[in-house]
Amino acid sequence: MDAYSVVGVKPQQVSYLNDFERLNLTEEYNVTFERGTRIAYADRSHYFISGTASIDRNGDVVHKGNVIRQLDRALDNVDALLMDGDANLNDMKYLIVYLRDPTDYSRVKQYLDFHLPELPAFVVEGAVCRPEWLVEVEGVAVAPNEDPALPAF
């Protein structure tokens, strides 16, 4: 979010999302990014979810070797991040799914079509950052906000 290019965003509009019951700080496993950032406006908030995977609150990989269970956990983690900012998975506008192994595409696509049929999802091959991760997700959400003290979008 250091490169978010909307002129005039004030510090009080920006908050970082986490759920420490489910996820640890990213810096605890030697990366420096925020998993989720909320930019609040008078009538809505925009949520930017960075690459999120199947990890637990200790930073350990969950469901090693099972791409569908990893995807499910990653989406649960995204939902937890969004809930920290008063949104949820239904507020997602699109999702990018990175697969380590392109042969997992059909199973992942079938899962997404069944569980999130209205959500545009782009599934691409990608070198996710940990060898145990088979899938990683990111995306953008928009949810209503009511704070007339904040600037309009």
DSSP 42-110: SSEEEEEEEEE-SB-TTS-B-STT-HHHHHHHHHHHHHHHHHHTT--GGGEEEEEEEESSGGGHHHHHH
**Domain membership flag for residue 4:** no
pLDDT at 5: 65
Kindly report the CATH number assigned to the domain that includes residue 92: 3.30.1330.40
Mean pLDDT, to the nearest integer, of 108-118? 97
Q: What percent of the chain has pLDDT over 70?
A: 97
CA distances, 98 to each of 16, 83, 85, 111, 148 (Å): 23, 23, 24, 14, 38
Mean pLDDT, to the nearest integer, of 60-83? 97
Range of the domain at 88: 11-144
**Domain membership flag for residue 45:** yes
Range name among 32-41, 60-69, 79-88 with the lowest pLDDT average: 32-41
pLDDT at 33: 81
pLDDT of 114 strictly over 60 = yes
Q: To 10 degrees, what angle do helices 67-84 and 105-115 make?
A: 40
**Domain membership flag for residue 153:** no
pLDDT at 95: 97
pLDDT of 133 strictly over 60 = yes
pLDDT at 1: 45
**Domain membership flag for residue 97:** yes
**Domain membership flag for residue 87:** yes
For the chain, what is the domain count? 1
**Domain membership flag for residue 65:** yes
Looking at every residue in the chain, the average pLDDT score rounds to 92
Rounded to two decimals, the pTM is: 0.93
Higher pLDDT, 3 or 44: 44
Range name among 14-28, 66-80, 130-144 with the lowest pLDDT average: 14-28
Mean pLDDT, to the nearest integer, of 66-71? 98
Mean pLDDT, to the nearest integer, of 71-84? 97
pLDDT band at residue 4 under the 50/70/90 scheme: low
